[in-house]
Amino acid sequence: MKQIINIQEALQNLKDKITEADRYFDEWCMYGDEYREPSWLIETCFLQLLAIAEALEFEEFRKMIYTEYLGVKGSKIGFSDSEQTPDGDPYSVVLSKIRRFLRALESFFPTEDHTKVTKDLLQIIRDIHYVITDKDLFRTTPSNEKDVHLRIEGILKCVFPDLKHKPSLTKQIKNFEPDTGIPSIETLIEYKFLSRQKDISKIADEILADTRGYTSKDWHRFLYVIYETNRFKPEKNWNQLLRQSGVLENTTAVVLSGEPPKIKKKTKKLK
């Protein structure tokens, strides 16, 4: 029984990694952001899949996976190979292959009757980005910090019923009132709206000033959601700023961009 539980956890971990790789792939295709180049992450999914098949001692099945893996690794395009749907949207050819093997493995293990939240908060918020900028739902993209706050908070409330709007801290801090609190995961969230390049320094100063207020026995994780109307500054730069300023690892920045996506041209396969 313990082995079955371990395999189920490994399968769930692989599904989560595939979701993350899918997100990297989409952002890489839409924005051409080389920081999001997904090859290494997609290869990691393949290696996890091989490890699971090895642990299950499904030797012939493992050989099939390994043959596919070698074929991808030895190709000219490699793990970033892409095709387009009939609607013109790009998708990862390699992740599709991995999902095919994953579904076959899942058929050997029972699933729980109830559902549970398995996504990390950061991943949930990144996925929310596509909802809060959907003009069919909100007519317009967010135009200020309040729009970003209320739209994200409304969706998170469905996932975290204990979510608090503008929670009070046990220790009062001057000029600091967090936007969102989720007690079940001991997390505070602040939202920032960035619409002009010249406001980057101002928002950076606000974030660093806010971190001085993070002193409470009830909250142990802090998240800044920075919504850009255009692509101004990569997420990694904001997190580098936090680390270089001595802010602890429990404080993280995530950047959502309202810039219309730019579909990357499909790479032609070499014959």
For residue 138, what is the enclosing H or E element?
helix 135-138
Strands 90-92 and 251-257, how do they pair?
Answer: unpaired
In a domain, 178, yes or no: yes
The answer on 236 and 143 residing in a single domain is: yes
Considering the domain architecture, whether residues 102 and 29 belong to the same structural domain is answered as yes
| Domain housing 55 | 2-106
- 128 found inside a domain: yes
Q: Residue 246 domain-assigned?
A: yes
How many structural domains comprise the chain? 2
pLDDT digits 0-9 by tens, 176-220: 678 999 988 888 999 999 999 999 999 999 888 887 756 666 788
Q: How far apart are CA 43 and CA 34, in angstroms?
A: 17
Clarify whether residues 96 and 126 are in a common domain: no
- Cα–Cα–Cα angle for 185, 180, 122, rounded to 5 degrees: 55
Q: CA 24, CA 244: separation in Å to the nearest integer?
A: 25
Whether residue 169 sits in one domain with residue 72: no
CATH number for the domain including 144? 3.40.1350
Band (pLDDT 50/70/90 cuts) for residue 70 is very high
Question: Does the model's pTM come out above 0.85?
Answer: no
Residue 114 resides in a domain:
no
